[in-house]
Structure 1
């Protein structure tokens, strides 16, 4: 029973970590600005494609993250520290309710000339950017048991299923929350992301020190 509870706890930790860094609620602002003349059906189609592509990108890095780290000769703890610093910087921007520069003005302007914006810039870098990729690699790398790895897969699936529903309902989300409500939620998520980032850095730094000092 304790094992089941620990796996559930890891799932909720993984889901919270991925959902907060993807932040589909804040993404609705960019989504609406990129689809001003789209019909409800078109927005539903774009939302599904964007969430699906973002899901497969996240899943790809979750599956191949260990190979990527070994190719570059680094460790999961080094990525924990570097990723934690990156996430903390993002958390500070969120706490200030300052839009994160996931998508530049030039990319948004370029997207205006595209017929299909679901892959770029929506799926990447808006939904699955460096922060999300780092997070899924770290979560998979630190999963100690197959059940925990399964929990990460389920967390990724749940995150992008929720992302699809939120983007598809972007008009309603915008009307209900308004810009102020979205920014308040962004600040709350920023606080939680900051805590996750500190945990990443602390655990990673301790493991690196313990390995160098020969502490078991």
Structure 2
């Protein structure tokens, strides 16, 4: 991919991911509350979806590629930047879950929540730089290295997902018992 196109896709993807995650920081807890969904339910659902995403990373594509739509999207770069790059690769279920949990109004002060937002923006900036450097990184690690790295990261992501589900289930059991 040409450098200008890669820069455009990376920028669009990171900005969309930032907007989605900022939405969840600002309105996630309010939205869940309005829908009557306890935080532990969201954590379990996010953990399950994250686990499925991780399985796809570990085992590779598990379903046949869906047929392309008859008409091409108005902006194919924006389409790729939104899916699969911005969502679910950057602002996936794990990231959405993390920002909601790390900005829980009942557990964290506004200053701690501001720190979370600052860290999120710093991580997104570093990710943007890594996306811009995708070709040199790919040349260094090679296709086999990328394959191995993706599968190992998928396994780690699966462990994080299971941990989220177990922690949320423990909260649910404690709430149900007392």
TM range (shorter): 0.7 to 0.9
d(CA) in 2 for partners of 1:88, 1:162: 25
Aligned partner (choices 75, 82, 86) of residue 38 of structure 2? 75
Asked whether 1:55 is paired with 2:18, we answer yes
> How far did 1:135 drift?
3.5
Counterpart of 1:93 (choices 31, 45, 56) is 56
Determine if contact 2:102/2:108 at 8 Å carries over to the other structure: no
Alpha-carbon distance, 1:167 to partner: 1.5
**Contact 2:47/2:94 (8 A) holds in 1:** no
**RMSD, aligned α-carbons:** 2.9
The 8 Å contact of residues 59 and 156 in structure 1, kept in 2 or not, is answered as: no
The structure-2 alpha-carbon separation of the partners of 1:55 and 1:73, relative to structure 1 and needing over 3 Å to count, comes to same
Instruction: Give yes or no for the alignment of 1:139 onto 2:102.
Output: yes
CA distance in 2 between partners of 1:160 and 1:202 (Å): 28
Work out which of the residue numbers 172, 177, 183 in structure 1 matches 2:147: 183
Unpaired stretches in structure 1, ≥5 consecutive residues = 1-35
Label 1:125 to 1:153 Cα distance change in 2 as closer, same or farther (>3 A). same
Instruction: State the alpha-carbon separation in 1 of the partners of residues 120 and 7 from structure 2.
Output: 20
What is the number of residues matched between the two proteins?
A: 173
2:93 paired with 1:120 = no
- 8 Å Cα contact 2:50-2:93 kept in structure 1: no
Q: With structure 1 as the length reference, what TM-score do the two structures score?
A: 0.67
Aligned to 1:198: 162
Q: Alpha-carbon deviations, 1:100-120, whole Å to 9, x = none? A: 88x96637x945x52642753
Q: Please tell me whether the aligned partners of residues 79 and 138 of structure 1 are also in contact (alpha carbons under 8 angstroms).
A: no
Q: Aligned partners of 2:51, 2:88: CA distance in 1, in Å?
A: 18
* C-alpha separation in 1, matches of 2:55 and 2:88: 19
- Shift in CA distance, 175/104, structure 1 to aligned 2, threshold 3 Å: farther
Does the CA contact (< 8 Å) of 1:47 and 1:167 recur in 2? yes
Structure-2 residue corresponding to 1:23: none
Displacement after TM superposition at 1:144 (Å): 2.5
Asked whether the equivalents of residues 103 and 116 of structure 2 are also in contact (C-alpha less than 8 Å), the reply is: yes
Question: Does 2:6 align with 1:43?
Answer: yes
Larger mean CA deviation between 146-155 and 203-212 belongs to 146-155
Q: CA deviation at 1:179?
A: 2.1
